Structure 1
Amino acid sequence: MSEDLAGRCTVVLDLDGVRDKAGLMDRVARALALPDWFGRNWDALADSLSDHTVWPAGAVERGLLIVVRGWQPYAEARPGEWRTAQDVLGEAVDRTAALAVVLALGGSS
C-alpha cells in the first residue's frame, strides 16, 4: 500500500544540532510556528500535532507532511527520547489522517 503525499503542505523539521528534548521542542515549535503557549513537553506535542487550529495555513485542506531531517545525531545521543518522539509522531499520524511524517535519510544539508 502506498500513500500519495503530493500536494500536501510540507514542513521541514531540521534537527541538525539538536542534542536534547528541549532543543527538539524548540525546533518543532519553530518549524510548525506553534503558539507561545505550546508547553514543550510530549503531551503538548501530541496535542499540537492533532490540533488543526495550529497547523500552517492550507494544511487542513491539503494535508500536512512533516519531513524530519538531521535526526540521526539526536537519535544516537538520546535514544530513549528519540523513541518517545517517534511514538508521539506515530500516534499523531495514526489519529490524524491528514498528517504524514517521514524521516529523511542522509545529511541535513
Structure 2
Amino acid sequence: MSEELAGRLLVALDLDGVGDKAGLMDRVARALALPDWFGRNWDALADSLSDHTVWPEGAVERGLLIVVRGWQAYAEERPQEWRTAQEVFTEAVKRTDSLAVVLALGGSS
C-alpha cells in the first residue's frame, strides 16, 4: 500500500448482489453509517462522500479509504448507473484529499 493510503480508516463497500441504484445507495449508507437523512441520490452521495462530518468515527483524523468490491455484476447489469457511480466517486475524491476510493478486482468474500 502506498504511503498516501497507509493509515486511513478502511471501509469495505461490498456491492455483491446489488442490482440497481437503490441497492447501491443502501449499501453505501450502511457501509459508511450515513445519517437517516441521506438522500439516496447521486448528488447526496457526492456530498456525503466529500463531507467529513458524516464520515465514520476516526476517518476525519486519519482519512478514509473505501474499497469497493463485488461491483462487477452491477457494472455489467447497469452500465450507465455504474458510470455515474464512478463519476461520483471520482468527483468526491477530487473534492477532498483525505478520501480515496479503490475498486477491488477480486471477489466479494
Q: Does 1:40 align with 2:51?
A: no
Q: Give the letter aligned to residue 27 of structure 2.
A: R
Secondary structure of the 1:26 match is: helix
Show structure 2 runs of 5+ residues with no match. Answer: none
Q: Give the TM-score normalised by structure 2.
A: 0.96
* Structure 1 residue 4, shift from structure 2 partner: 2.2
Secondary structure of the 2:37 match is: coil
Show structure 1 runs of 5+ residues with no match. Answer: none
Structure 1 ranges of 4+ moved more than 4 A? none
* Structure 1 residue 57, shift from structure 2 partner: 1.0
Matched residue count: 108
Residue in 2 that maps onto 1:71: 71
Give the RMSD, CA atoms, in angstroms: 0.9
Q: Give the letter aligned to residue 108 of structure 1.
A: S
Q: Give the letter aligned to residue 18 of structure 2.
A: V
Q: Does 1:96 align with 2:87?
A: no
* Identical amino acids, percent of aligned pairs: 86
Deviations 1:50-85 (A, max 9, x none): 111100111111100000000000000000000000
